[in-house]
Structure 1
Amino acid sequence: MDDQNKNLILATALSFAVILVWFLLFPPKEQAPTDPNAVAVTEQVAEPGTAPTATAPAASTATTAVVEEADTDAPRLTIDTPRLAGSISLKGGRVDELRLKDYRETIDEGSDIVTMLSPLGSDNPYYALFGWAPGTGLSLDQVPGANTVWSVESGDTLTPQTPVTLVWDNGAGLTFRREMSVDEDYMFSVHQTVQNNGDATVTLAPYGMIARHGEPANAKKFFILHEGLVGMADGELTETSYKDAADFDFDPREGARAEVAQVTEAGWIGFTDHYWMATLIPAAGPFKSASKYDEARDLYQTEAVLQTKTLAPGQTVEADMSLFAGAKEWETIRHYQNDKGVPGFIDSIDWGWFFFLTKPIFWLLHTLHGLIGNMGWSIIGLTIVIKAIVFPLAYKSYASMAKMKELQPKMEELKKAAGDDRQKVQQGMMELYKKEKVNPASGCLPILIQIPIFFSLYKVIFVTLELRHQPWIGWINDLSSPDPSSILNLFGLLPFAAPAQDSFIAIISLGILPILLGISMWLQQKLNPAPTDPAQKMIFAWMPWVFMFMLGNFASGLVLYWITNNTITFIQQYSIMRLHGYKPDVFGNIKSSLARKKPENK
């Protein structure tokens, strides 16, 4: 590899290192915590005319209808499915207590199962509401709101086999019913009807709303992950962070900072966390999709308001909406998209800018896991497949590098003949490359390709739920977390625990995998002699150990991938270069790098 080739590799590696160090040292700033229940939200009504176009006068659709205070004594209906546990409050008919039976907060034995939704009065209220916004001929107290106490018409426990029906009579001729059902996974179906037994025509608009008081306490706030508001409107995905939602322009028609979109055909809107999501999915468009933030109350809301309906005496109208509240499992979400017609639902997983790489990489990893049954071995298998795919390019690259080594004596002769004339040296080398049909830049291609693959796999390992709490072997019990072993306690031999992963000292608390990573990078370097330039020599000498510390707190799965990649690269490069006549002197290069430089005689 000539100096030009080494400079390009060095620049690429240093740029990669700078990016990593920057985001490690300067992560996004966390906002000061706020009391989510400091001020309650009351029902508000905006100007009429903001619902999607309908044949009847539009209903008022500012549906910020949240109870003023928690009511812990409100009657409840139990939710009990194979994967969900919780309850529905009959006050407002709110889905406000939900836990995920299949997932625990930590890998510790006896850890609590994950809480998905929480009622008002809890530390982080987060819940879903459904109702009707009043239009012509109706006032707020004549439609069911967040304070309305419903009666149970049928069912006492919501299960996949037993739906429940709630009923409320407004005392002015309207009877409201709400039938709620749930499937085996995470999808609730809400079928609302209104029967007009009065003698006047009225208009009203059905809606669904998800309310979240304050930002979630466990938000990661990391640049590679989107957490916040998420929605799909006619095929266009929208991701809005909590910070950006707080910067919405104030909309007097909505009574809060808001962004409103009119969805013509289909879509959905809600909130996404790292691994969990709550989303409203109207049965069909058109509908109004709204994202809101009430600054005074620190309240985030997402709403789906369906078309205004006209209800003549003796008529009944109905509306359907679904609520997804659960884990962002790839297979489950894909099932809802492909089999249940939820458009673009798979994009609720944050695939990032390199989605054209992250999606197929995850699919391959998921498929291998289905065959192998262990995510760690699946990552190794994924690495082998990726290396096989890029092998033709690697072969050409390493063959070119071997040829460059063969040309090294001729290059040295050119340098001696040209003396200090650098232009003459470059011209001579270009002629030599052309004559011998060698491309000096081809040695950099595997490295340049490796960078987007690395970032894509990092995204997959960090974002996707399928790697959460997945073990590999022995001490590696969670591939989505850093290696828990530590050199500071001799990997468990000394009688004290390793420092916490979020502590400052954790950066020097290297585990076994990061150390193996540093060694693998160091050995890969020894396929070639050290650069003659002293500055380059020093940088190359330190690079493996700098990366070892930098990646020490990265997910174990990512470090495992890089170790496997380095090992395969070493074997490929060594074999191909020998095949083309150049025999890398690995042990000699190691010996020369460890030998002390003799002092020059003065």
Structure 2
Amino acid sequence: MDNQNKNLIIATALSALVLIGWTYLFPPEQPLPADSTPVSTEVATPVAPAVTPDAAPGAALTAEATAQAELAATPRIEIDNPALTGSLSLLGGRIDDLSLKNYKETLDADSPLVRLLAPVGGTDLNATPYYAVYGWAPAGGLDPALVPGPKTVWTAPAGAKLTPTTPVTLSWDNGAGLVFHREIALDEDYLFTVTQSVENNTGATVRLAPYGIIARHSIPESKRVYVLHEGAVRMTDGKLEEIKYKDITKLDPVEGEGQAKVLAASESGWTGFTDKYWMTTLAPISGAFTSVVKYTEALDLYQTETRQPVIEVAPGASASSATRLFAGAKEWEAIQHYQNDVGIAGFVDSIDWGWFYFLTKPMFRLLHWLHGFIGNMGWAIIGLTVIIKLLVFPLARKSYISMAKMKELQPEMEKLKEAAGDDRMKVQQGMMELYKKNKVNPAAGCLPVLLQIPIFFSLYKVIYVTIELYHAPWIGWIKDLSAPDPSSILNLFGLLPYATPEPGSMLFMFSLGVLPILLGISMWFQQKLNPAPTDPSQAMIFAWMPWVFMFMLGSFASGLVLYWIANNTITFIQQYTIMSMHGKRPELFENIRSSFKKKPQADAPKK
């Protein structure tokens, strides 16, 4: 291997090492409130309901107690379908209690379901308030007291229950001639359809604007990494925008809004919050609307809003407006169905496909198909790795053939260096003549490696973001491919009666499981296909690299580590076979033996 190839591989490996190390050691900080001066809100602007703490000591506790009392006193309507369970509150008619039937928090048999939405003042201390609320903003001088607000108590038919076959209609009569209705329907998965309507029984035309809000009081504590977007996500007339939670707190003040970012959609769009596996999104059915992402520092409140145009309702007439609400798991099949069959434009892009989306999307579809065909996500990952390696085999073949040719020229290159001594210019000229004479292109091995880098990162992205890895087993002790290998060398992989260290503890990084150890060994064997570099610094980097990666990747998801093991193994087989076919079989065992030999010490200086 020539120095150019060595330097390329070192640079690539070090870049990956820095990338992974930075992700592990320095995850992005949790969002902190930004410094800003709130701007007063106009009467017609919808504001999310929230518990507003007072300045007086104990006032926040009083407000929390009041919220709990209101919550307990207000009737609720049960929500139930094959994917969701929960309830909606008649206080404000908000959808504020949802759990996912098909997903548990842990693998324990008695583990609670993953909770997506939670009410203000709820009894679950582990769930921060997170809910969807709808309403009408008054316009044209209409008295705000005449439209339903956050504290409005709606009525519903006795025994009402929201299921895919039984939509629920809420009603509220303001006593002054306006009657409001809100029909809520639910499909078999994660999509609500909320249709708001108003009957004008007054003697005058009224003007008002329908809105929908997703409100999140603070965000869940978790370790966030920059390779995955978590925060606000929205599509506005075909343009996707992602705003991380920490960036939402830094939004500039907008007149009449506070800290906000406002966009107008003339044709279609949607807006909401997304986490790694779960998402809550509003999607107006009619075309034009205003999309708002905002933050209220005093309440640590994150909001996304969809505001539809003002509607004029003549005396004796009625008007309605409909919005879809997605609240659930980011399952590709469901999201694709809502895009292609329901008509939520660009909804598949709510999944974070990354920079190389043109590669990530087809890779994900292939992994999804393999999972359905094989029935096991671990073997599907290995199958995907094999297929990708076969597709890029022509590039790899050129690289390994170039390495074989360079190895053939190694003896002549060493003679050239000895003859030229310290004259580097003469060495370079001699090497160029040697390449030209033997028709060898030293860069031929570099280009294939560079072209494979986007493929590597795309495959990494696919495995990292797919929800199909969540609690998906592989074999034996690997019960969750989205979690680190649970085995540990510290208790001899279960032979000793000691529990393994918890993630985040000081010892967890040294709690190497079987898969991380196999990863280090596979990297080490792959490295031994080539002699150690003659440069001492390079040799030291190469010697430590497999074991550094072993520790760094030990806390990564088992699915990712399994991919790297499969990739290293296939690469080893390809390189050994191709170079052997071209007459330069790698001296594997000789390179292994030489790595254990004691380095000769330099002769002592003569007196």
Q: TM-score, normalised by structure 1?
A: 0.93
Aligned residue in 2 for 1:227: 230
Aligned residue in 1 for 2:193: 189
1:380 Cα offset (Å):
0.6
1:65 Cα offset (Å):
4.5
SS of 1:96's partner is strand
Query: Does structure 1 conserve the Cα–Cα contact (< 8 Å) formed by 2:193 and 2:323?
Result: yes
Does residue 23 (structure 1) correspond to residue 23 (structure 2)? The answer is yes
Note the alpha carbon deviations across 1:172-195, whole angstroms, 9 max, x for none: 111111111100001001111111
Aligned residue in 2 for 1:144: 148
Note the alpha carbon deviations across 1:430-488, whole angstroms, 9 max, x for none: 11112212122223344434433333233222222111111111111111111111111
SS of 2:493's partner is helix
Aligned residue in 1 for 2:203: 199
SS of 1:151's partner is coil
SS of 1:167's partner is strand
Aligned residue in 2 for 1:426: 428
Aligned residue in 2 for 1:245: 248
Does residue 404 (structure 1) correspond to residue 388 (structure 2)? The answer is no
SS of 2:496's partner is coil
45 and 201 in structure 1: CA distance in 2 versus 1, 3 angstrom threshold: farther
Cα distance between partner residues in 1 of 2:78 and 2:546: 56
Cα distance between partner residues in 1 of 2:505 and 2:458: 27
Note the alpha carbon deviations across 1:407-446, whole angstroms, 9 max, x for none: 1222222223322221111111111112212122223344
Query: Does structure 2 conserve the Cα–Cα contact (< 8 Å) formed by 1:287 and 1:304?
Result: yes
Task: Pick the aligned partner of 2:45 from 61, 65, 68.
Answer: 61
SS of 1:172's partner is coil
Moved more, 22-31 or 349-358: 22-31
Aligned residue in 1 for 2:327: 325
1:323 Cα offset (Å):
0.8
82 and 395 in structure 1: CA distance in 2 versus 1, 3 angstrom threshold: same
Within 5 Å, give how 1:367-386 maps onto structure 2.
367-386=369-388
SS of 1:205's partner is strand
1:494 Cα offset (Å):
0.8
1:218 Cα offset (Å):
3.5
Runs of 4+, deviation exceeding 4 Å? 31-34, 65-69
Cα distance between partner residues in 2 of 1:65 and 1:25: 38
Cα distance between partner residues in 1 of 2:48 and 2:480: 41
Alignment RMSD: 2.0
Moved more, 150-159 or 567-576: 150-159
Question: Could you tell me which amino acid in structure 2 is paired with residue 248 of structure 1?
Answer: L
SS of 1:376's partner is helix
Note the alpha carbon deviations across 1:155-174, whole angstroms, 9 max, x for none: 61010001111111111111
Aligned residue in 2 for 1:463: 465
Aligned residue in 2 for 1:38: none
Cα distance between partner residues in 2 of 1:505 and 1:561: 25
Task: Pick the aligned partner of 1:439 from 435, 438, 441.
Answer: 441
Cα distance between partner residues in 2 of 1:337 and 1:472: 31
Within 5 Å, give how 1:205-216 maps onto structure 2.
205-215=209-219
SS of 1:552's partner is helix
Within 5 Å, give how 1:526-545 maps onto structure 2.
526-545=528-547
1:326 Cα offset (Å):
0.7
1:601 Cα offset (Å):
4.8
SS of 1:323's partner is strand
SS of 2:360's partner is helix
Cα distance between partner residues in 1 of 2:293 and 2:27: 26
Note the alpha carbon deviations across 1:237-271, whole angstroms, 9 max, x for none: 111122222222223423x2211111100001111
Cα distance between partner residues in 2 of 1:245 and 1:30: 12
Within 5 Å, give how 1:383-398 maps onto structure 2.
383-398=385-400
Query: Does structure 2 conserve the Cα–Cα contact (< 8 Å) formed by 1:67 and 1:147?
Result: no
107 and 446 in structure 1: CA distance in 2 versus 1, 3 angstrom threshold: farther
Cα distance between partner residues in 2 of 1:555 and 1:565: 16
Within 5 Å, give how 1:559-598 maps onto structure 2.
559-598=561-600
Task: Pick the aligned partner of 2:268 from 266, 290, 310.
Answer: 266
SS of 2:298's partner is coil
Cα distance between partner residues in 1 of 2:358 and 2:352: 12
SS of 2:73's partner is coil
Task: Pick the aligned partner of 1:523 from 517, 520, 525.
Answer: 525
1:67 Cα offset (Å):
6.8
82 and 365 in structure 1: CA distance in 2 versus 1, 3 angstrom threshold: same
Aligned residue in 1 for 2:291: 289
1:86 Cα offset (Å):
0.8
Cα distance between partner residues in 2 of 1:419 and 1:291: 67
SS of 1:474's partner is coil
Cα distance between partner residues in 1 of 2:120 and 2:332: 31
5+ residue gaps in structure 2?
Answer: 53-65
Moved more, 519-528 or 353-362: 353-362
Cα distance between partner residues in 2 of 1:583 and 1:66: 70
SS of 1:565's partner is helix
Note the alpha carbon deviations across 1:191-240, whole angstroms, 9 max, x for none: 1111111111111111111111112x234322122211111110111111
Note the alpha carbon deviations across 1:503-529, whole angstroms, 9 max, x for none: 122111111111111111111122122
Query: Does structure 2 conserve the Cα–Cα contact (< 8 Å) formed by 1:81 and 1:160?
Result: yes
Query: Does structure 1 conserve the Cα–Cα contact (< 8 Å) formed by 2:398 and 2:448?
Result: no
Query: Does structure 2 conserve the Cα–Cα contact (< 8 Å) formed by 1:220 and 1:274?
Result: no
1:96 Cα offset (Å):
0.8
32 and 244 in structure 1: CA distance in 2 versus 1, 3 angstrom threshold: closer
Aligned residue in 1 for 2:86: 86
Query: Does structure 2 conserve the Cα–Cα contact (< 8 Å) formed by 1:231 and 1:237?
Result: yes
Identity among equivalent positions (%) equals 63
Query: Does structure 1 conserve the Cα–Cα contact (< 8 Å) formed by 2:31 and 2:249?
Result: no
Question: Could you tell me which amino acid in structure 2 is paired with residue 85 of structure 1?
Answer: T
1:135 Cα offset (Å):
1.6
Cα distance between partner residues in 2 of 1:532 and 1:545: 21
437 and 155 in structure 1: CA distance in 2 versus 1, 3 angstrom threshold: farther
SS of 1:339's partner is helix
Aligned residue in 1 for 2:97: 97
Query: Does structure 1 conserve the Cα–Cα contact (< 8 Å) formed by 2:580 and 2:586?
Result: yes
555 and 442 in structure 1: CA distance in 2 versus 1, 3 angstrom threshold: farther
Question: Could you tell me which amino acid in structure 1 is paired with residue 46 of structure 2?
Answer: A
SS of 2:192's partner is strand
Question: Could you tell me which amino acid in structure 1 is paired with residue 29 of structure 2?
Answer: K
Cα distance between partner residues in 2 of 1:33 and 1:262: 26
1:12 Cα offset (Å):
2.2
